[in-house]
Chains A and B, each alone.
Chain A
């Protein structure tokens, strides 16, 4: 169905991009490079799968739900699980030794939790950018 999933192939295996890098279509094989999203950007969160950390984060921010994190999913970069950090315009790789759940919804919750931990860290690149470029 249009718009419901990844373009280029029907992905039934949650580990598809971890196993093969996602070079599926004829075009992708021709250029040797996967093109397109490595996850379904339209996948809505299943709130039954919220982690305790995310519940605490939501409460801290004064929100009633995941808010901007609804758009965060676990993606796959170079055959490795990763989450895209919009604040650095790059992928943050999930530790290779982390055992991933067997479904995308639970993986997305992990990705959300790890992204918060990364963005709020004093080591995050935005800390230096803020010092250098803040306007007010």
Chain B
């Protein structure tokens, strides 16, 4: 004779097994639907080119040592680091052009990456979200850069001024070459220091 309590226990376990089976079946159906939905959202269109935007490039002029702000329209990505890299690359493209007022070979390929980090040093109450831009230049760009106090200084200052014109939060800029700290750009401009964008001010041109 089976005791009553054992009969009740078996029935309860049976019901629990059926409920758990039902839950598992529901979960499987949901996972299957999610998988099908994922397949439906797979890209079926080619990626679109970013729309052109207005940007300010501050270009150097060797003839008078000036920094001139110029308005340009160019496609810019949304990510701030990528955006900064495109802007600095475009500036270097201007310098690599045959009729450049500040001839520097290399072009956009001269800047490998731009990293945006929180600014170092004491917080500026007027710009609490101040950023430090780390520009990683390529070794080939540095090696081919003309040597001279003026030409190297203008390259560094024009990059700083271009970043300042387009990213008000960038207050400091540091330079690396092939990911390493380097003493000078091409024998003169000091790359061991942090440059303040406030010291890189255009001397003319369109409104930055």
On whether the two chains bind one another, the answer is no
Residues in B lying within 8 Å of A, measured CB to CB: none
